Amino acid sequence: MKRPNPSELPPVILWFRRDLRLADQEAVAVAAESGAPVIPVFVLDEGGGSSARPLGGASRWWLHHSLNNLASALGQLGSGLVLRRGPAAEILPALARETGASAIHTGFMPDPSERAADRAVTETLGDGGCRLHRHRTTLLHDPHRLKTQTGKPYGVFTPFSKTFEREVHVRPPAPTPGRLPGAELPPSERLDDWGLLPAIPWDADMAQEWTPGEGGAAARLDRFVEEAAAHYATDRDFMARPGTSMLSPHLHWGEISPWQVWDALDRAEGPGGVAAYRRELIWREFAAHLLWHHPDLVQNPLREEFQDFPWREDKRGLRAWQRGQTGIPVVDAAMRELWAIGWMHNRARMIAASFLVKHLLIPWHAGEAWFWDTLVDADLANNCVNWQWVAGCGADAAPFFRIFNPVLQSKKFDPDGRYIRRWVPELARLPDAHLHAPWAAPDDVLREARISLGRTYPKPIVDLAEGRARALAALDTVTARQR
């Protein structure tokens, strides 16, 4: 049977979202295999019909560069990228009418606003002949599929991971299509007109650290597999070591698929490190599963008894934490790393988050909002689930009474002080014995290191023992109501 000439077929729209790649991208593959002319499009939908949460500053920076990269890659396949801004429920049906498209192929997104956008696009398309087709492009499984034996969603990670390993088949990744059937592309907005890049150039360190786009993701994965994956289980906790993958922003933006990562780990030596990293990939799936079944995670704790937890309003404390000026060196190092490169080591995230919600008793929502604005990997599911985990109010959460001592954490996971000295250089001259708690150093040691507490470096904004006691007292008010 003769295959139809692409010029005789109505075009199909390829709607990119947080899956900004061409390799191992099911929506791309299906559109390419349709034989119809393909119209690639990205819609910037912030606060439109889907009530999408506006992107943070670091995410906007990343998105600008990733879209540039994607447009270039599409050009190499003989295509291009159409940019439109506005509610997806208005933009896509209008584009379908404008081009006569018969189908829209897109990724399957777990976030509530994106699910709402899918429903709105489908409703607006109606029975006009153009249909929305969703494909799995960002996750290893469909987040609504796995259930407990009683038919309920999982709330504990270990049984979820066991079911995942038993039931989810992780397939080998697919290559980039050789070409996309050409189409006459409709007019596009200019990326530079979207204003995604910062007006004040605070992004210099991010530009040095990251290469957004599919090529940067592949290079980062290769480096991790060759240099760090085998020792991941032990090295991942040490904040100054290159022991983590730093793939989180590439995975969030879909510049690499979790299938590609999972498959590439087979090349790494050291099964312990590979198993530990794959467990982190499954945690990412668990977070998506939780958000799917609890779409209000960004506002409400999963554990209802924390709904009325006696959080404190402390604007000065929050500002000091955001700026890395708490007087606790490891916390300040973590927050300055975040501001500089839009990313923070995972162990440092737990220490900094625990300090905010427990020693300062500031609501986890405030920390989640700051991470949303400053992380290049700001993922709604991961961000909310992990903050609730630290705050003791989420699924499978660490108990609230488990309060990290930042000094002990610092001594254990930055024993030679390299992490602190990099990000808090005003403390660099302190000897290791006093670096983690400069307020306890003798006056002559501080003078020798050219440190004046309260002037060249802050005094602690909270006494750690008092902060711990205050947190436990707050917890008592919650547990008392449960008795």
Residues with active-site annotation: 280, 283, 311, 346, 364, 387
Helix (H, G, I), strand (E, B) or coil at 104: strand
Q: 24 — phi, psi (to 5°)?
A: 50, 50
Rounded CA separation 56/482 (Å) = 38
- On whether the CB atoms of residues 104 and 13 are closer than 8 A, the answer is yes
- On whether the CB atoms of residues 163 and 143 are closer than 8 A, the answer is no
User: Side chain identity at 423, as an amino acid letter?
Assistant: W
- Give, in order, the Cα–Cα distances in Å from 317 to each of 24, 332, 359, 437: 45, 12, 10, 19
State in Å, rounded, how far the first CA of the chain is from the last one: 74
H helix or E strand, kind and range, residue 135? strand 131-135
Rounded CA separation 377/245 (Å) = 13
Helix (H, G, I), strand (E, B) or coil at 321: helix
65 CB-near residues (< 8 Å, 6+ apart) = 212, 213
- Number of other CB atoms surrounding residue 296 within 10 Å: 11
Residue with tokens 């060759």: 226
Rounded CA separation 423/366 (Å) = 23
DSSP string covering 418-455: HHHHHH-GGGTTS-HHHHT-GGGS-HHHHHHTT--BTT
Rounded CA separation 59/72 (Å) = 20
**Which residue in 432, 376, 424, 22 sits closest to 210, CA to CA?**
376
- On whether the CB atoms of residues 213 and 65 are closer than 8 A, the answer is yes
